[in-house]
Amino acid sequence: MSEATIHDWNDVDYDVLGAHIDLIGFDLDTTLAVSKTPMTEDMAAEFGELTRRIPVAVVSGGKYTLFERQILAMLGDNADKGNLHLMPTSGTRYYSWNGETWECRYAHDLSPEDRDAAVESLTRHAKKQGLWLPDDAVWGDRLEDRGSQITFSALGQMAPPEAKSAWDPDRSKKNRLAAAVAADLPGLTVRSGGSTSVDVVAKGIDKSYAMRRLAELFSTGIDRIAFVGDRMDPDGNDYPAAVAGAYAIRVHEPGDTLRIIRRLNALLPIIG
Residues at the annotated binding site? Answer: 27, 29, 146, 197, 199, 230
Question: How is the chain split among helix, strand and coil, in percent rounded to 5?
Answer: 40, 20, 40
Task: Specify whether the CB–CB gap between 153 and 132 falls below 8 A.
Answer: no
Q: Is 223 a catalytic residue?
A: no
Q: In what order do the strands lie in the sheet with 23-26?
A: 6-8, 247-250, 225-229, 23-26, 56-59, 84-87, 93-97, 102-107
Task: Specify whether the CB–CB gap between 142 and 172 falls below 8 A.
Answer: no
| φ/ψ (deg, to 5) at 92 | -75, -15
Map residue 191 onto helix, strand or coil: strand
Reported as half-sphere exposure (CB side, CA atoms, 13 A), residue 32 has a value of 31
The one catalytic residue in 27, 80, 168, 238 is: 27
Q: Is 27 a catalytic residue?
A: yes
Q: Which residues contribute to the annotated binding site for alpha-D-mannose 1-phosphate?
A: 146, 197, 199
d(CA 67, CA 19) in angstroms, rounded, equals: 29
For residue 81, count CB atoms less than 10 angstroms from its CB and return exposed for 0-12, middle for 13-18, buried for 19 or more.
middle
The answer for 228, left when phi > 0, alpha when psi is -120 to 50, beta otherwise, is: beta
Compute CA distances 226 → 3, 23, 54, 102, 230, whole Å: 17, 7, 11, 23, 14
Q: Which residues contribute to the annotated binding site for Mg(2+)?
A: 27, 29, 230
The one catalytic residue in 15, 29, 77, 184 is: 29
Residue 184: how many CB atoms within 10 A of its CB?
Answer: 16
How far does Cα 202 stand from its chain's mean position? Answer: 16
Write out the catalytic residue numbers.
27, 29
